[in-house]
Structure 1
Amino acid sequence: MDPDSAADVSRVPHGGDGDDGVVDFSANTNPRRPPGAAATYDAAFGPATRYPDDGYADYRAAAADYVDCDPGEVVPTAGGLAALRLAFGVTVAPGDSVLVPEPSFGEYDREIRLQGATPVAVAHDEILEADPAEYAAAVVCTPNNPTGEAADPEALRAYLADCRAADTALVVDEAFLDFTDRPSLAGEPGAVVARSLTKMFGLPGLRAGFAVATGGLGDRLDAARPTWGLSVPAAGVGAYCMRQSAFVEETKARVGAERARMRDRLEPEFEVYPSDAPFLLLGVDGDVDALLAHARERGFALRDARTFPTLDSHVRVAVRLPEENDALVEALSEFA
């Protein structure tokens, strides 16, 4: 991290509403958790009286199985954002430039600037066509947040080849990829994959994730990671959750069906963006502030997507449980 840049970088707005009186559609986390996760958390209390085993062998093995890579390529982190910070920390230096999609997750811009580097924005649907030469790194978010579309696997692999030829690291944020059937780039030379357990397993406060990279890039990631960077409960619950394949498949099926059902009911009153993620981006033909207030009065928190660059009349809504989705759609239809 560049000390001279830290004072000039501000915080980034995110979804998530702490008001227990509303149903939170502003954060894209699973409203359900794997059966047995709470018991696993409780069982970690005793072992938490000791330092974690810094090797995290069981967590690495579970993560490797989850994304189909070698356990030695997995670097445990306290969430997907910690994986991104680590990725930029070992690939980006002061004065560098980094390609980033726009609109997309706001933390890319912040983390790159904290390294003393400059983010260079490219339209999210054109990022795989951008020339990576002369950039220290390029970032792809798949599925992209907040628009929702996943990158075409063949196009993504072709772009990784371009990045390798240009000696440019490709940082791939796969925080929502486990809601799709698309393959991970984990284990591919030249790529740093960042994964989060927050979204699929509905545990944002646990702070569990990981990065994956090979060769010298993987060695640098592992050397730079904080010692004991993953708590005992996070490591235990994370490993347990990643082995719950039936839960993952049920969640993917539910989200896919509900997302399609919500789209059918929200169009044409709203512009609904194509999505492979557990959320929908809506273009609003009207007063966004009034819509947000209308939704909250009826017990729903939405994500004001105007905080994303290039979006000036949009909200993002999570895909939750069927009865919650029905109630939200009814409230939004009242406004439209």
Structure 2
Amino acid sequence: MRGQLVDAGPQTDPGRHPGTPEPDLGHHGDAEVGAGLVDLAVNVRRDPMPDWLADPLVAALGELAAYPDPRPARAAVAARHGRPPEEVLLTAGAAEGFVLIARALAGVHRPVVVHPQFTEPEAALRAAGHPVERVLLDPADGFRLDPARVPADADLVMIGNPTNPTSVLHPAADLAALARPGRVLVVDEAFADTTRTPGVEGEPESLADRRDLPGLVVVRSLTKTWGLAGLRIGYLLAPADLVARLAAAQPLWAVSTPALAAATACASPAAVAAERDLAARLAADRDHLVDRLSALPGVRVAGRPASAFVLIHLPGAARVRERLREQGWAVRRGDTFPGLGPDWLRLAVRDRTTTDAFVEVLARILEA
């Protein structure tokens, strides 16, 4: 199924097993989590919150009588990425950004979503009444993007980098090749701050600082690395005229005062330095997880994981997931992602002690 292009209509996705239904785009990792389960299903850190983030959040609670003022946070995010504030739109998490894009760009005629990826971009397009076509990347190619597979007349293209759930980090040059006049290119960089290259400054392959690419929208999230999923804070980076169109579709005061305080704090030099340190630790923990999984019979790690999660192929994964749940472990099913099927699971990267305990349980299940 190399780079397959399919219409995401009512018919079965040809990238899936015959007879399986259309994937449930509304299913997310939090649905897998339950009381008493060790959570490998949600890609959010759960470490203690640092003081430089906690203190502004607590202080913001004393300002709740006033309506939120996004200007300081907008300026802070803009400064981090070397952009004017007019090119930043703060959102209630990255998910709101996809809804705004789908609603504001009502005139697009051929939207294309590159899969497997986070399902909310396609779900938002469908909810807004857009027909959606899918470019299905091939697991045999490590789910790597070939820009030539995207139709030349697609006027809206959406792709993740690094991609959830595959953990693939596409080269920035390949993504930049998708930008052109008359097209809006949406790159979901919700996990970009988890990617670091030793000895290289900044985030490899990110387009967040690129202002030269026409129609580029970069979607960012602050909920993953800093454990703020319940606060809902993210932002869009785009040309000023496109930001204005998206802002017009956003409700008034969509981002709360505490969320704005978090955005300001997470754009600080202290936050950027902390991200770099966390990403280095994450890379070591991810390598350990990959090494342990690769030693198990029947388990295949997809590609070269670059983010906070790992995708594995395992025959009978649906049953294995049930057995893991019975023994206290929650993992993310893969069959709700277009382009995958029931033999795929996504695992969040955790510390080595948690990884070792999980792999021992998984090994016993596979032996049985």
TM-score w.r.t. structure 2 length?
0.81
2-structure distance, mates of 1:100, 1:33: 36
Equivalences for 1:177-196 in 2 at 5 Å?
177-180=192-195, 181-186=203-208, 187-188=210-211, 189-196=214-221
How has the CA–CA distance of structure 1 residues 132 and 66 changed in structure 2, closer, same or farther, with 3 Å as cutoff?
A: farther
SS in structure 2 of the partner of residue 45 of structure 1: helix
How has the CA–CA distance of structure 1 residues 15 and 127 changed in structure 2, closer, same or farther, with 3 Å as cutoff?
A: farther
The alignment's C-alpha RMSD in Å is 2.0
Q: Deviations over 1:197-222 (max 9, x none)?
A: 11111111110001111142122123
The answer to which of 57-66 and 307-316 deviates more is: 57-66
How has the CA–CA distance of structure 1 residues 326 and 246 changed in structure 2, closer, same or farther, with 3 Å as cutoff?
A: farther
Matching residue of 2:83: 69
Structure 2 unaligned spans of 5+ = 1-23, 138-143, 196-202
Equivalences for 1:224-239 in 2 at 5 Å?
224-239=249-264
Which has the larger helix fraction? Answer: 1
How has the CA–CA distance of structure 1 residues 301 and 216 changed in structure 2, closer, same or farther, with 3 Å as cutoff?
A: same
Q: Deviations over 1:156-185 (max 9, x none)?
A: 12222xx32xx1110111111111132432
Report deviation, 1:119: 1.1
Report deviation, 1:323: 1.8
- The amino acid that maps onto 2:112 is L
Matching residue of 2:113: 100
Matching residue of 1:141: 160
- The amino acid that maps onto 1:107 is E
The answer to which of 33-42 and 322-331 deviates more is: 33-42
Matching residue of 1:299: 328
Match of 1:172 among 161, 184, 187: 187
Equivalences for 1:39-58 in 2 at 5 Å?
39-53=55-69, 56-58=70-72
- The amino acid that maps onto 2:178 is Y
Matching residue of 2:246: 221
Q: Is the 8 A contact 2:289 2:352 kept in 1?
A: no
Answer yes or no: is 1:117 the counterpart of 2:121. no
1-structure distance, mates of 2:286, 2:80: 24
Q: Is the 8 A contact 1:23 1:300 kept in 2?
A: yes
Percentage of pairs with the same residue? 34
1-structure distance, mates of 2:283, 2:291: 13
How has the CA–CA distance of structure 1 residues 68 and 295 changed in structure 2, closer, same or farther, with 3 Å as cutoff?
A: farther
What is the total number of aligned residue pairs between the two structures? 319
Structure 1 unaligned spans of 5+ = 1-9
2-structure distance, mates of 1:14, 1:68: 33
Equivalences for 1:1-336 in 2 at 5 Å?
12-16=26-30, 17-36=32-51, 37-53=53-69, 56-93=70-107, 96-124=109-137, 125-126=144-145, 128-160=147-179, 163-164=180-181, 167-180=182-195, 181-186=203-208, 187-188=210-211, 189-243=214-268, 244-269=271-296, 270-273=299-302, 274-285=304-315, 287-312=316-341, 313-336=343-366
SS in structure 1 of the partner of residue 283 of structure 2: helix
